[in-house]
Amino acid sequence: MLGLKRGTVALLPHQAEWDRSAEEVGALLRQVLGAAAVDVQHVGSTAIPGIRAKPIVDLVVAVERLEDVEPYGEALARAGFLDRGSDQPGQRLWVRTGADGDTRTHHIHVVEAGSQAYAAYLAFRDYLNAFPEKAREYEACKEALAAAYPQDRGAYTAGKAACVARLGAQARAWRAKAAEAGEKRCIPPGKRG
């Protein structure tokens, strides 16, 4: 299954369809954005095979400057991506919907390639894939919130903020330690978007 009605929360076991969809939509984004897309990666819970996730695929697109995507707004719209503006400082958000227009299937986070946001997306994904016990900890937090707020995605998202912040700090520290040791990337095999 891919997609959820806007505002709702449901967690499903990992599905191979999510990885395939991330590859297909990532390729489409590369085609539409051309050289403006420095990198496209599958991130978020659907990129962590060991845990349950909302069936909405998150992709992060790295660009040199956020302004670099502006000329592609119409092309992105023709390809089925809806511009949702700046959902967080230093980021732009596009969404892809199902045929009904109310089911979200993909969240596209556009960030600058050298930004902390870009590094944080990759570190979080890689850390949870490298440490299954941390992934299960994140999953337990999400499951409790999904049970409490199945019709309120805002409350669900707000509720997991502390857990995301704590695990995100651990992920960044892990990535920094790996960088000090001379490792160029900490991405487990098969996890490039």
pLDDT at 154: 94
Mean pLDDT of the chain: 92
pLDDT digits (tens, 9 = 90+) for 152-171: 999 999 999 999 999 999 99
Q: How many CB atoms lie within 10 A of CB 43?
A: 25
Say whether pLDDT at 87 is over 80: no
Encode pLDDT of 91-115 as tens digits.
Answer: 999 999 988 888 999 999 999 999 9
Burial-class residue 31 by CB neighbours within 10 Å (0-12, 13-18, 19+): exposed
And the tokens for 168? 């995100």
Topology (CATH) of 4-180: Beta Polymerase; domain 2 (3.30.460)
C-alpha 102 chain-centroid distance = 19
